[in-house]
Amino acid sequence: MIMAEALNADPSVSGAHFNGGPPDEEASYEGTLKLSILVLPGFSQLSLSSFVEPFYQANCSVGERLFDWRIVGTDSHPVVSSSGVAIAPDIDINSYKNGDDDSLMVIIGGERIEEQKSPLISALLRMKSRRKLPICALGTAAWLLADAGILHSAMRCTIHWSKLAAFAEKFPELVTEDCLFVQDGSVTTCAGGFAAFDLAAEMIHLRRGENFARQICAQLSADRFRTGSHCQSVPLGLRATGAVEKLIRVIKLMEKHVEDPLPLKKIAQIVSLSRRQIERLFIKHMKTTPMNYYAQVRLKKARQLLETTDMSVIEVAVACGYVSSSHFSKAFKDHFGMLPSHTRPWVSAVVNCSNAA
């Protein structure tokens, strides 16, 4: 259960760990759960607001501070989000690291997360991990946890969908899942964005019960909150259809087998459907054939890898199930209207300048 250790210890202790499962609906935990939220330059303002606002509403509803939080910055200057909104930190990372703090540490990442690793952040994460204190990474911040060795071999985790492909290639020893949020031990990773709201609602659920969590959702005009196992990549509107579970099973198989594509006959055997049934489902709900959709999945992953890694074109082709770079280049150009090499940001800039000249 999400961050379940934080409700386990003496409830009067700030930053207490969760327990191993959701409390009874009648259960109520006293005391304040303290969170220290490290926002990195270019962080997602949506992730921060989605995560904190449910806690604010929960506090208002009971007239006490069930949750308390402070913003930690990399220094004392305001931190600018990806949308240009600047937020002043309550404390800088050096002061936070040097203090005796056992609060739940939350890191919110954003764009170009690979360039934001630092010895200071890595040391802080490792210190928290050694003390077995809970750590939560929102958006792209799981990258820093993996880079610091906090996410170790066979550990389950997730990251924002835009980094899923690159993350899985960079850290193949991890079990990277396409889901909203996941906990493994004392570490929770979350896709960020609106998924941060679902994570916060789940934490409120664990602390005060499901009915109370639903009341908070209603106050924020949300009809429900999603579980962590919900997929990030389910096509928009698909969950509203009656065939959702069957389609999701097929789609997840396709996404899992990008490097070694499965024939439709094999997919049909695995999901216990006929080829014709699968074809009808895709034509009706996805407006395309299963194999065309499968090709799109592979090409979308290829574009992610090209845009976010330094893998060569042939390496990307192999990682996406193509036996030759020429076949891959043709399929890529047919789908995206450009060669794979022109997808890289620095190459595109050169091409545009050449065309302008």
Give the integer Cα–Cα distance in Å for 196 and 202: 10
Q: What spatial distance separates the first Cα and last Cα of the chain, rounded to whole Å?
A: 58
Question: Is pLDDT at 132 greater than 50 in this prediction?
Answer: yes
Query: At CB < 8 A and 24+ separation, what contacts does 315-320 make?
Result: 316/340, 318/259, 319/169, 319/258, 319/259, 320/258, 320/259
For 100-126, the pLDDT digits (tens) are 677 899 999 988 898 888 999 999 999
DSSP state of 40: P
356: exposed, middle or buried (C-beta count within 10 Å: 0-12, 13-18, 19+)?
exposed
CA dihedral 260, 266, 267, 271 (to 10 degrees): -140
For residue 80, report the phi and psi dihedrals to the nearest 5 degrees: -95, 130
Most confident of 8-17, 188-197, 234-243, 253-262: 188-197
Q: Superfamily for 4-219?
A: Class I glutamine amidotransferase (GATase) domain (3.40.50.880)
CA distance 71 to 185: 24
Amino acid at 319: A
Instruction: State the average pLDDT over residues 44-57.
Output: 97
pLDDT of res. 183: 95
CATH architecture of the region 238-342? Orthogonal Bundle (1.10)
Model pLDDT, residue 153: 86
Hunting for tokens 């899985």 — which residue is that?
Answer: 168
Residue-level pLDDT at 3? 53
Q: How far apart are CA 290 and CA 324, in angstroms?
A: 22
Average pLDDT, integer, range 84-89: 95
Is the pLDDT score of 19 beyond 80? no
pLDDT bucket at 96, cuts 50 / 70 / 90: confident
Assess contact for 72 and 38: CB atoms under 8 A: yes
Domain boundaries, the chain: 4-219, 238-342
Q: Binning pLDDT at 50, 70 and 90, where does residue 234 land?
A: low
Determine how β-strand 135-138 pairs with β-strand 156-157: unpaired
pLDDT for 103 equals 85
Confidence at residue 12, expressed as pLDDT on a 0 to 100 scale: 32
Backbone angles phi and psi of 84, in degrees to 5: 90, 0
Task: Report the chain's mean pLDDT, rounded to a whole number.
Answer: 85
The pLDDT assigned to 111 comes to: 81
- pLDDT at res. 10: 35
Q: Tell me what the mean pLDDT of segment 195-221 comes to.
A: 95
